[in-house]
């Protein structure tokens, strides 16, 4: 057995920050009230996380790159037959990663366009009609339940691998290292790649705040001498 570096620090930080953010979103979304403002702010943060992970999927280290674990049909078939060998995400795990990343991204974007028709509006609400915003809000609520189911399945699969297959998936995501019979440590994903990914993520966060949307024109003043 040998010890290899499998998950770089940015990938691990993304993973655990996303876990914490999703948990906070569920809590603040259910509590509502004044907490809905925090719900919106955390949602904007999640947009930045998802964008960072997408960029890091191209610029990051070996096992964080999408091309390395993209679930190709041949790889999925080999895994189901028990003949797949590799490090990082296995083909079924890769399907889960892409599904969760897509769901979280869609859910976050929908949240930017929502309205509760009372006091809260998403930062990008001014870009669409109120009728469309109400419809998207319904989708946002529905998709939250779908995301909860997927998150539960993801958690269950981690327990399954730990108990049945004796493969601890959590420890490498904490330490970055994994004991394997044969393999190579991750390469790439240096400082320049990290700065690029962070800059793009911060740009996405800024865009999500709606700060670039022009302010609506002021309401016309009533003619002098008239009161309402």
Dump pLDDT digits (tens) for 45-84: 999 999 999 999 999 999 999 999 999 999 999 999 988 8
Q: What is the mean pLDDT of the chain?
A: 93
Tell whether the model's pLDDT for residue 114 goes beyond 90.
Answer: yes
Q: Is the pTM of this model over 0.85?
A: yes
* Cα–Cα distance, 84 to 75 (Å, whole number): 7
Least confidently predicted of 2-6, 54-58, 84-88: 84-88
Domains of the chain, start order: 2-208 (1.20.950)
**In contact, 144 and 107? CB cutoff 8 Å:** yes
**In contact, 63 and 88? CB cutoff 8 Å:** yes
Phi, psi dihedrals of residue 177, rounded to the nearest 5°: -115, 155
Residue 226 confidence (pLDDT)? 55
Tell whether the model's pLDDT for residue 165 goes beyond 70.
Answer: yes
Residue 222 confidence (pLDDT)? 62
- Looking from the CA of 145 toward its CB, the CA atoms found within 13 Å total 4
Tokens at residue 38, please?
């925090």
Could you tell me which of 179, 177, 183 has the C-alpha nearest to residue 6?
A: 177
Mean pLDDT, residues 120-142:
95
Q: How many residues does the chain have?
A: 228
Residue 113 confidence (pLDDT)? 97
Dump pLDDT digits (tens) for 167-215: 899 999 999 999 998 889 999 999 999 999 999 999 999 999 999 999 8
């Amino acid at each position: 057995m040998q010890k290899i570096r499998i998950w770089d620090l940015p990938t691990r930080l993304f993973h655990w920050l996303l876990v914490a953010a999703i948990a906070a979103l569920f809590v603040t979304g259910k509590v509502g009230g004044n907490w809905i403002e925090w719900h919106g702010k955390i949602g904007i943060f999640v947009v930045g996380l998802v964008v960072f992970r997408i960029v890091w999927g191209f610029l990051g280290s070996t096992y964080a790159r999408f091309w390395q674990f993209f679930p190709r049909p041949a790889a999925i078939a080999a895994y189901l037959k028990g003949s797949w060998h590799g490090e990082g995400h296995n083909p079924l795990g890769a399907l889960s990663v892409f599904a969760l990343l897509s769901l979280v991204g869609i859910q976050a974007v929908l949240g930017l366009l929502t309205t509760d028709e009372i006091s809260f509006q998403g930062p990008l609400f001014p870009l669409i009609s109120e009728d469309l915003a109400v419809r998207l809000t319904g989708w946002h609520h529905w998709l939250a339940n779908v995301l909860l189911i997927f998150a539960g399945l993801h958690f269950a699969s981690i327990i399954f691998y730990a108990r049945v297959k004796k493969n601890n998936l959590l420890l490498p995501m904490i330490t970055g290292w994994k004991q394997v019979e044969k393999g190579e440590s991750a390469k790439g994903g240096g400082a320049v790649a990290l700065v690029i990914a962070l800059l793009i993520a911060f740009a996405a966060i800024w865009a999500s705040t709606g700060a670039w949307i022009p302010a609506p024109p002021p309401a016309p003043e009533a003619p002098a001498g008239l009161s309402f």
